[in-house]
Amino acid sequence: MLVEQFIIYGIVFLLCLVVVYVYLSKQKTISNTTAAKIVQAKADGIYEPVSLHPFIDLGTCIKSGACIEACPEKDIIGIVNGRAALVNASECVGHGACFHACPVEAISLVIGTEKRGVDLPHLNESYETNVQGVYIAGELGGMGLIKNSVEQGEAAMNSIAKALTHKGGHSYDVIIVGAGPAGISATLTAKKHGLKFLTLEQDSLGGTVFNFPRSKVVMTAPMNLPLYGKVKLFNTSKAELLDLWKASLSKNDIKIQEYTKVEQIRLCGEEFHLTTNKGEELVTKTVLLAIGRRGSPRKLGVAGEGLEKVAYRLLEPELVVDQKVIVVGGGDSAIEAALSLSAQNEVVLSYRSDAFARVKARNRELLEEAVQAGKINLKLKTNLVNIDQKLVTLAMQETGGTEVLPNDLVYIFAGGELPTQFLEKVGIQIMKRFGYTVKKHK
């Protein structure tokens, strides 16, 4: 009997050793794979975070892996030597799913790093700036994700409604600048509170939606859209999101004043005077800025850039057919535009550097395939220096010469300019944040 028990115990012990060995081997493989991905991410220039991203407290992390499973973008976080680590951090779009999934609260959401600061306006807990009566919600304040922006838009408008002592009268109670997720949420909330409001958008409502950096919109938890109800989006197209915005506004009989850019905000007594590009002067008691961090698209400042053939975003590539197109830029937006247009057009992609950095791996692969197939004419280390009605001129960095190409359309994706000067003229303080925690509580 004792011998049999000894054998059984021995077998169980050996099985336990095998299980432990298999587990440790698997963990080592995962760790080595993730470490290799980090090395590649550094080589590709996508390791350093560029916006809202998770910060991992290694002293608290218990390597549960819940954060990795929860991330809808994948490969943003991995496990190295038993602890969570950032991998392709620049591709993080701030969903916050990892933050909510961590069972020991080892993750916080921050913007900026120890080395790379991010300019953010000063805001208090009510989303009010240092200029009393001027509020900010959404991407400009650091929260670019749809669900977070919607929540901020509603919260900021609730603060405004609470702060207003006298509602109505000749002037507006609030003017909302921007009709993105935060602006639309704030608009619906203003309607809910019975405020006298006006929402201005420098582009079209569709333009706001189509400027989102992803072709698909991903949400990991439902959001409540004021006066509309609960909304949950899974891999939703931009067109579907636009239909949602239109439906929410139509349902509540709200119209957005489109193609109206606010050029100046002045405090006159106890009210704000807003001057627009249409020559209007609007008077309001409070202002909510729900504009993007990029403000206006960055221009190259080259001759001919004002021609109608020049655009800074691509809305409906399927309508562009049999054209000679040049796309300028080296980010995901430029590459995705070039790929979309290459199906029905002759496409040249011009980029000033000798290699692409901070682009999604899939975009890089698709671009290489398109170049090899002759669908895209890639011209690295070139600069667009002149635009004519039927021609464009590229400066060639390596030779010092120029190349003239036949051309019908020009698409420029050179990023956007922070509206810093606009904000400072209003009197809003801008601070450079390094590793600033944007969201602390679940």
Which pLDDT tens digit goes with each residue over 34-81? 777 777 777 766 677 766 778 888 888 887 788 878 777 677 888 888
Strands (E), 18-103: 53-56, 77-80, 83-86
In three-state secondary structure terms, 186 is: helix
User: In 266-384, which ranges are continuous DSSP H helix?
Assistant: 332-341, 361-372
Contact status, residue 376 vs residue 367, Cβ threshold 8 Å = yes
Write down the pLDDT at residue 107.
82
How do residues 195-206 score in pLDDT, each as one tens digit?
A: 999 999 988 886
- With a cut of 50, list the residues of the chain below it in pLDDT: 440-441
Which residues sit opposite 287 in a β-bridge?
134, 175
Distance between CA atoms of 169 and 13, rounded to whole angstroms?
82
pTM (predicted TM-score) = 0.69
Contacts of 67 (CB under 8 A, 6+ apart): 54, 77, 84, 98, 99, 101, 102, 107
Which residues sit opposite 428 in a β-bridge?
none
Write down the pLDDT at residue 440.
47
> Which two structure tokens, joined as six digits, stand for 157?
């408008």
Write down the pLDDT at residue 203.
82
Distance between CA atoms of 179 and 245, rounded to whole angstroms?
9
User: In 197-324, which ranges are continuous DSSP H helix?
Assistant: 205-210, 238-251
Write down the pLDDT at residue 8.
74
Ramachandran category for residue 145: left, alpha or beta (phi over 0 → left; psi -120 to 50 → alpha)? beta
Write down the pLDDT at residue 379.
95
Distance between CA atoms of 274 and 263, rounded to whole angstroms?
8
Around Cβ 33, how many Cβ atoms within 10 Å? 13
- CA-nearest of 180, 123, 185, 174 to 151 is 185
Q: Which domains does the chain have, with CATH numbers?
A: 2-111 (3.30.70.20), 119-295+419-439 (3.50.50.60), 310-415 (3.50.50.60)
User: 423-441 burial, b if ≥16 CB within 10 A, otherwise e?
Assistant: beebebebeebebbebbee
Strands 197-200 and 172-177: parallel
How do residues 144-189 score in pLDDT, each as one tens digit?
A: 567 778 888 999 999 999 999 877 677 899 999 999 889 999 999 9
Contacts of 290 (CB under 8 A, 6+ apart): 136, 137, 138, 140, 149, 153, 176, 177, 178, 179, 180, 182, 183, 186
CA 200 to chain centre: 21
Write down the pLDDT at residue 375.
95
Around Cβ 396, how many Cβ atoms within 10 Å? 13
- CA-nearest of 293, 329, 309, 233 to 416 is 293
